[in-house]
Every structure is written in C-alpha cells, then in structure tokens.
Structure 1
Amino acid sequence: MTNELLNSRYGTQDQPANLIWNDHTRQLLGHRSVRAYLPDPLPDGALETMVAAAQSASSSSNLHHWSVIAVTDPAVKRELTRLSSSDYFGSSMPFVQEAPAILLWVADNSRNHAVATALGVEPVSLDYLDALVMATADTAIAAQNAVVAAEAMGLGVCYLGAMRNRARELADLVRLPPYSFVVFGLAVGRPDPARSADIRPRPAQSVVLHHDRYDATRGDGWLGEYETATRRFRAESGMRERSWAESVVVGTGRPYLDGRENLRRMVEKQGYRLG
C-alpha cells in the first residue's frame, strides 16, 4: 500500500525513503481531486463534523477570520456553475451542479469589524494588506482541516478556485457583507466509483524542500522526470495530452484569469483599502 501511494505521488522520480507511516499519513498521501459524485446527500452530521474540524485549525491571534456557506439548493448550484465557467476555455464544471454540496469558504473580517466598531474602536488594521492575507491564510488552513475530515469519512472533494472568476456576482448572489469575499469553493460528496479519480503526481521533494536558506539550484534537471509522471497520469486518466510546462503557461498567462483580474477592485469595494 505504501509503495503504491509513493509510486502514484512521485512516479519514477526520487521518492522519500524515511516517511513515518500511519493511518493519517496514508490518508493524506492518498488525496485526490474528485470530480464525479453520486447523487446521495451528505451523511447526517458530515457537514457539522467538517466545520468542527475546520474550527479546530490554527487561527491567527484567535480572531476567526473566516466563514463557510454550504450550498445545497439546486438553483443556487446552477448559478455557481455559471459563475465558475471559463469564457476563455469555453467550458464549465458540471460537477459543481452534480455534487450534493458546494462549500464557499469566505475570508471574513466582517464580524471583527462589527465588534470593534460597536466597542468604539476604529478597526484601522483592516485598511492594510496584511488583514486580507491573514484572513485568506486562515480560511485556507480551516478548509484543509475540513478536507481531511471529509476524506476520513469516505467523502471526496475538489477545490474550486474558479469561484473567484466572477467574484462580484458571487458576493451579490450569497449576500456577502463588507470585509468579506469568497476565496474558493469546495465540492464535496460521495465519489462515484464508476468514475474514479487517480492520484496526481507531485514534483520530487528535492524541488520544494530547502534547508536553512532557499537554494534556487536545488532540483536542477527535475522537470523531465516530472513531465514523465505527469504525462502518464494524464494518459491513464483519459485526459488530453498536455505537458505540465504547458499548464504553467496557461496558469501564468492572462487567459487563465477569466475575470479574476477584477478581484482587486472587488475586494476594495468590499471595504479593504489594501494599504
């Protein structure tokens, strides 16, 4: 089992030889993005368990800078499908409609703004970029705890960065207050075993792990082996042929933005001054 997980995660690249294996690490290394779901609703208590796990994550200064909106209404999910579609690629993500629940993870400083104001304090720190970074980081940390809990219950998930494509429309749809915005969505449900997902490979640890100081020469020559693992994954998953480097070109070029170039204006309208 452990060799199978490492082979799936790293392919023929160098694999870490001294991992400490237990049920938790096996679950984490077995993570995969699920884009095909059974129509079953979430099990009773699953949502509450995920939120309890999220609330148990670290929180910057214990300020609780996040909220989550659980969307199960089919009409609202249809709107989420539309708002997360890609104008550039001419496509949408049908599994957004198919998943029994879409969780919208909100970087949320609205509560703290209200509490400070009610106590007669001007919440000046919210005028600075760090307030947005801190809330975004806390939201991501909380969501990942929820993902670990979901997968431990046998559920599958897929993060949805495309929820930022039309951030203003989405904020209006779910009636976000000032000092908040949706960082990403999360599809969650029972995976369809007839359309199972594979484990996507990652670069060797030598590419991402540095010691004491960043070393830009670490992992020289890594790309070829990673491309081999990536191409095999795409072929075995029935995906069209594309190199990882091509994905970088798409992911760093303007076409990928699909409306996200307006995100700064959106968060400024939500009250952030980004000083």
Structure 2
Amino acid sequence: MNQVIEGLLSHRSIRKFTDEKLTQEQIYTIVKSAQQASSSSNVMAYSIIGITDQKLKNELYKVSGQKHVKNNAHMFVFCGDLHRINQLASSEEKASIKENMESTEQFIVATIDAALAAQNASVAAESMGLGICYIGSLRNDINRVNELLGLPEHVIPLFGLITGYPDHKPDIKPRLPLEAIYHENKYKSYDEQYPLIEAYDNEMKSYYEHRSSNTKVDTWSDQMIRKYSKPTRMDVTPFVKSKKLNKR
C-alpha cells in the first residue's frame, strides 16, 4: 500500500486546530492541486474563495454554528461558478447560451467540478500533515453567505473547507461495507443490501458507544431517518433559481 492510499484510508474530519497558520506557499499549493482535478470539458465551473478575515470567519460561524469555522488556520469556500462563462459572451451571445446556462445539466457540472477540486485540495492538505473538515452548514443561510461573499449571478456557495494543524486525533468513523456501495453490472436489490446495512448499524452502534469522546447510543439507519424526516435548507432551491442556475 502506498502513502497516498494510506492517507486516504486514514482520513478523519478535524474540528480542533492549533494556532499555527498556513504559509502562502501552502495555500497556493492546495489551490493549485485543486485546479488539477478533472473538469467537465475543461469548463472549470467553480471558484475558490479564501477566508482570511477573522471578522468574516465570525460571521460565517454565525451561519454554520460550528466553532471550527472561526477557529482554523485557513478556510476555503468552494462555489459553483458559471459567471465567468456568461461574461465571456457578448450581449447577443448571452441570449443564445441562456437556456443551456440555466439548465440542470450545467448546475450538475458546476457542482461536480467544485467537489472534485475540493477533494484534490483535501488530499493535498492532508499530505502536508494538515487536517481538514468540510462545512456544508454554510448552506444553513445560503442567502447570508451569498451576501457576505458578494457573489454575482451564476455563482453559488456550495460548501466550505477548513484546514489547519490538528489539535486532536478523533477516531476514524467506519463506512458502509464495500459490498453495499459497490454494485457490479446492475444495482443490487435492497434485500441484498439489508444484511450489510444491518451489520453496519451494529458496527456504528459500537463505534459511538466506545469512541474516545462524545459517546452515545445510535445507529446509521436511525440517523438517516431522523435526518430526512425533517426538511432542512429548503431555501436553497429558490436561492439557486434566483441565481439563474438549475432553472430548466
């Protein structure tokens, strides 16, 4: 097993960081690594906003409610971005690209491009001995984040990625069995998946009961039912459409 795979298999989200800051070289290396991710037709339909202003971090913390959003060495916000492409077009061309620009397909392209870039950034950061944590909770108030970052039409904040030197070493959270995720040639029936999920629930119950901090009694299945029983971030849909994305 090589070092890259070892690093991937030992990933854990870090939520406590030392006070040590990242150098400009480290930041640029992470961004350059992100840029080398695969991109649909080389559209590169994303932008990365580095958050260095502590006051801005504090405001983003108010949205997310997660302390590590304000206490970290560096924060990146990954945005789906078709604004650049739209700006390339003349006023006449804008009319001709409008339907395609506002389609679900191009929204998916922007989302995937940003996610691929972010994962490259994460692997690069962890290879430097840094810890990372994705921050989807920026979408708790997506309109406020949009306002704070001054995002134009065709640009939406998707998630944050915080980095820094770890100040704790949490346990590695188990994942679903490979056989539940990997389907060969056709999708497995739920009856085939159920025993795997049941085994995973037992593993997760043991993990939560015995991990080094924040112990509790819970299972993955129970978590998922609770999560999807309560509608959340329902303002994201009208927000995305207001930015002239995913309208068609």
Shorter-chain-normalised TM-score: which range? over 0.9
- The question of 1:56 aligning with 2:30 is answered no
In the alignment, the residues of structure 2 paired with residue 262 and residue 214 of structure 1 have an alpha-carbon distance, to the nearest angstrom, of 32
| Cα deviation 1:20-77 (Å, max 9, x = unaligned) | x211111110111011111111134111111111110101010110001111211101
Q: What is the deviation of 1:272?
A: 2.2
Of the candidates 142, 155, 159, which is equivalent to residue 117 of structure 2?
142
Q: One-letter code of the match for 1:186?
A: L
Matches within 5 A, 1:112-191: 112-117=85-90, 120-121=93-94, 122-124=96-98, 125-191=100-166
Of the candidates 216, 220, 226, which is equivalent to residue 194 of structure 2?
220
Matches within 5 A, 1:201-220: 201-216=174-189, 217-220=191-194
The answer to whether the 8 Å contact 1:157/1:187 transfers is: yes
Of the candidates 191, 203, 207, which is equivalent to residue 233 of structure 1?
207
TM-score (normalizing by structure 1)? 0.84
What is the RMSD computed on CA atoms of the aligned residues? 1.5
Moved more, 165-174 or 95-104: 95-104
| Cα deviation 1:145-187 (Å, max 9, x = unaligned) | 0000000000000111111111111001000011010111111
Q: One-letter code of the match for 1:111?
A: R
Change in 2 beyond 3 A, CA 1:118/1:150: farther
Of the candidates 42, 46, 50, which is equivalent to residue 66 of structure 1?
46
The answer to whether the 8 Å contact 1:104/1:185 transfers is: yes
Please, which runs of 5 or more residues in structure 2 have no aligned partner? none
Of the candidates 81, 87, 95, which is equivalent to residue 108 of structure 1?
81
Q: What is the deviation of 1:119?
A: 7.7
Aligned-pair identity (%): 30
Moved more, 42-51 or 162-171: 42-51
TM-score (normalizing by structure 2)? 0.93
Higher-helix-fraction structure: 2
Moved more, 108-117 or 225-234: 225-234
Q: One-letter code of the match for 1:238?
A: S
The answer to whether the 8 Å contact 1:36/1:196 transfers is: no
Moved more, 214-223 or 178-187: 214-223
Q: One-letter code of the match for 1:191?
A: P
Q: One-letter code of the match for 2:118?
A: A
Matched with 1:23 is 3
| Cα deviation 1:103-159 (Å, max 9, x = unaligned) | 110000000010123683532211211111110011001100000000000000011
Moved more, 44-53 or 223-232: 223-232
Please, which runs of 5 or more residues in structure 1 have no aligned partner? 1-20, 85-91
Of the candidates 35, 38, 49, which is equivalent to residue 15 of structure 2?
35
SS in 1 for 2:93: coil
Q: One-letter code of the match for 2:58?
A: R
Q: What is the deviation of 1:273?
A: 5.3
The answer to whether the 8 Å contact 2:106/2:246 transfers is: no
SS in 2 for 1:123: helix
